[in-house]
Every structure is written in structure tokens, then in C-alpha cells.
Structure 1
Amino acid sequence: MASDKTILIIGASRGIGLGLVEQFLAQGWQVTATTRGTPVQNSSAHWLALDITDPASQHYFIEQLADQRFAAIVINAGIYGPAEQRVDQATDAQLNQLFLTNSFAPVRLAQRLLPYLASHSGVLAFTSSQMASLTENPAAEMPLYAASKAALNMLVRALHPAAQQAGITLLSLHPGWVQTDMGGEKAPVSVEQSSTGLKQVIISAASKGGHHYLDYQGQTLEW
């Protein structure tokens, strides 16, 4: 990874995002992190406000970055969507919010953030899901959530020409079934386990190029 050891983590006030903040700080990285609410107390990260679904918020956030360059950017956005994961029972508003948050807004933001990554070594990572794969999720569990993450994977792939030209590596990452507000207390993977693994996957991806679909243990997933 680039010697300046700087990372931007989008959506970091809790769960996996906050876990990543703590992991990279512990490794001596300079961390810039975003939250829609109050910044985390007693953290040496630099916190900025951002609602990725709000164009005005995105614009103001980008202005605050000025001329910074990051070795890595992680876009950690995700909501479960409607409790009843059936397209015939979800409202248009619920579906629009799900795909805006999980698919469209992260990639819109990423397109604006590409110039802020270190050229020839930068890593742009997205929190996706194993659920997004037809191969890895043959029973179509959590279909609405899974579909939104599958859309994210495809839109990230569409970034590949621009990323390749800049020498940037793209990652679609499955954090595991994690003990977060979304994953629940019965999930088998702790936030610490997931964020520790993801940190290593991100660091190891520098200068590799291409677009990779990996889990938090670095295992390649089938699209």
C-alpha cells in the first residue's frame, strides 16, 4: 500500500465501518471517516458528515477533501431493506431507497472519488455481499437485499475502465455474516474478526489492478 498510509472510510459510525476505523488506526494509518450523525467520541480519526443519498451532502463533502490523496477508499453502505423480502409486498418507496442506498449512491460517490486515490497503487473497495452471487446464493435468500448488492457489483465493474486507466484496484467485499445491527447477535463472525480480515485484504490489494470479489478471509467468490 502507498507509504502515506491514508484511508477514507465511508459509513463508519458503527458496525463494520467503525471496526475498520479502529483496525487501521491501530496500524498507524491516518483515517478519515464519515458519519450521518454525531462523530464517534475518543477517536483519532478525522470525521466528516456525509449522507451518500443526498447530492448536496456529497457535494459539500467532496469540497472538504480539497487536494487530499488516499491509499485506499472504502465505501461501506448498506441497508437491509423491507423486512418482508418480497418484491410483490415491498412498496416503490422501499425499493427505491434500498437500491439508492446500496447500489446507485455508492457508485455515484465512487466516480467522484476516483481522482482522490493514489494513482498506480490505490484501492477502491465496496462492501458487497456473498448474497449477490447466483452461484454463492443459489436459493436466492434475502432476494431484495441480494439484488441490490448484485446491482452494486455490476456498477462497480462498469468503473473498471476508468480505474484501470488510473492504476486503481477495485474490490467487492463480503464481510461475512457479522454481529451487527443487520446481522444480529447470532451471526458467527464478530466485527473484530471481519474488520481485521477486511483490513488485510485491502492492504494486500494495492497495485494488483483489476476487479476482485473476495470475502473477509481473502477467498475469491464466484460472481
Structure 2
Amino acid sequence: MTQTATQSALVIGASKGLGLALAGELVKRGRAVTATVRGSGRTGLHDLADSSEGRLRVESVDTTAQDQVEALRTRLAGEAFDLLFINAAITRGDVPIGEVSTEDFVDVMVTNALSPMRVLEALKELVPPTGTLAIMSSSQGSVSLNTNGGQDLYRASKSALNQLMRSYAARNADDTRTLLLINPGWVRTELGGPDALLSIDQSIPGVVDTLQRHAGEPGLQFLDFQDEVVPW
């Protein structure tokens, strides 16, 4: 699908790392982008906006705060985005599940699984019937690929996200929008760590290529940055 300057994207969670790079890649390809940060401090996204010649607008939202999500929807009312991409994930380290505190379990599950789906439900009407609803997932959310264990809580949160997205797709089977769960690969970010296999520049252009390739295809797919199917 050829991108034009009239296309617009809404990227949730773009202050740093993969989200920031995604916003930058979309701007580079000619999209008008609205992207969000958490809190009021200055971030790399603000720097990117300053150099974007007006193609990038910064909004603020904490995806775990329902009132802030509703306020963002109100601010964006009347606008249309042909892509909504939700990027939100935290980890509490590689801890066996029996040693995970209840507080950490709740924090990770709310941030990684519940909040992205709440955001999707709140903002989906900003995306037209031919648009795309996408969420950043992970191959660690694949049940069938989990043969080595580790990262118990993070894996569980991404599996929960995938299951919730499948439930959403089943409940909205007549929705003509493209639904995508995207695995960006193991990337050297604050979350991925310094030993990860990929740089951000090796991952994000492929993520955007995959988004573009499947735009306009109704139904849910779980794909990676190389446009390959990730097993559930």
C-alpha cells in the first residue's frame, strides 16, 4: 500500500524506544502523526516533533488511567486516523512466578494486557472501517513457542493481551478494520536489554512495512516485523 501525506496515524506510547522510533518512521514515510507520552516532562518525542515540520503532534496520556484515556478521546473527537497503534509494556525482571509479588503481577497485567485493550475500545471509533487497529505484542506471548520458560510474568501478560485481542476480534467479527498483533523481535531497548539481537533500526522499518502490507485486510493476524506469522 502506497503511503500519502494525507494519511494519519495515532501512536499510543511513543516517548522512547520502539514507540518513538515507530512515530519517527511513520513521519519519515509521509504520515501525519499524533503520538502520546506519559506525563508532562520533555521526551525524545518532543524533540522529534520540533524537527518534523508540523507533521507530528504530541499528546499526553497514561494508558492505565481510564479518566486520562477518556480525556484523550474527547480531545481527539472529530478526527480520523487510518492507523491506531498501541505500544505499552513493562517488565519486573526474570522472576519465577512463585516469587512475583501481587503488586508486580497486577502492575504488569494492567499495563501490558488490560490497558491496551481499554485504549483500543475507547479510541477505535477514531479509525474508519478501512483502517488498522494494531497493538505491540511479543513472541514471548506465544504459548506454543514457550519451550524454555523464563520471564514468566511478562510472557503471561503478553499471552493475556493476545487472548483478549482474539476475544475482541471474535466479538466484532463484522468489523472490517485490520486487526494486528505485532512482534517487533528481540530489540535492544530499555525493556529488551543490551544483549538483544536487533537494533531499533533493524526492527521498526519492518514493523511499518508489515502494517502497510496488510492495511485494508479485515480480521486479526499475529505477525512479526518480517511479516511472518507468529504461532499462538
Shorter chain as denominator, the TM-score bin is over 0.9
How far has the Cα of 1:142 moved from its partner? 1.2
* Amino acid in structure 2 at the alignment position of 1:77: A
Matched length: 221
* Amino acid in structure 2 at the alignment position of 1:122: G
Residue deviations 1:48-69 (CA, integer Å, cap 9, x gap) = 0000001111111111111111
Gaps of 5+ in 1: none
> Is contact 1:169–1:205 with CA below 8 Å preserved after alignment?
yes
Higher relative contact order (CA 8 A, sep 6+): 1
Alignment partner, residue 72 of structure 1: 83
Specify whether residues 163 and 46 from structure 1 end up closer, same or farther in structure 2 by C-alpha distance, changes over 3 A only.
farther
How far has the Cα of 1:8 moved from its partner? 0.6
Cα distance in structure 1, aligned partners of 2:221 and 2:18: 19
> Is contact 2:141–2:156 with CA below 8 Å preserved after alignment?
yes
Equivalent position to 1:86, from 96, 114, 117: 96
How far has the Cα of 1:163 moved from its partner? 4.7
Alignment partner, residue 112 of structure 2: 102
Alignment partner, residue 31 of structure 1: 33
How far has the Cα of 1:84 moved from its partner? 4.2
* Amino acid in structure 2 at the alignment position of 1:124: L
How far has the Cα of 1:140 moved from its partner? 2.4
* Amino acid in structure 2 at the alignment position of 1:152: L
Cα distance in structure 2, aligned partners of 1:162 and 1:61: 25
Residue deviations 1:88-139 (CA, integer Å, cap 9, x gap) = 21111110000000000110110111111121x2111111110111222222
List structure 1 segments (4+ residues) > 6 angstroms apart after TM superposition: none
Residue deviations 1:158-186 (CA, integer Å, cap 9, x gap) = 11146542311111111111010011222
Which residues in structure 2 correspond to 1:145-160 (within 5 Å)? Answer: 145-160=154-169
TM-score between both structures, scaled by the size of structure 1? 0.94
Alignment partner, residue 174 of structure 2: 165
> Is contact 1:32–1:47 with CA below 8 Å preserved after alignment?
yes
1:217 to 2:217 alignment: no
Specify whether residues 51 and 161 from structure 1 end up closer, same or farther in structure 2 by C-alpha distance, changes over 3 A only.
same
* Amino acid in structure 2 at the alignment position of 1:182: L
> Is contact 2:173–2:219 with CA below 8 Å preserved after alignment?
yes
> Is contact 1:72–1:122 with CA below 8 Å preserved after alignment?
yes
Alignment partner, residue 182 of structure 1: 191
Gaps of 5+ in 2: none
Cα distance in structure 2, aligned partners of 1:53 and 1:122: 25
Specify whether residues 42 and 18 from structure 1 end up closer, same or farther in structure 2 by C-alpha distance, changes over 3 A only.
closer
* Amino acid in structure 2 at the alignment position of 1:132: G
TM-score between both structures, scaled by the size of structure 2? 0.90
Calculate percent identity across the aligned residue pairs. 32
The Cα RMSD (Å) is: 1.5
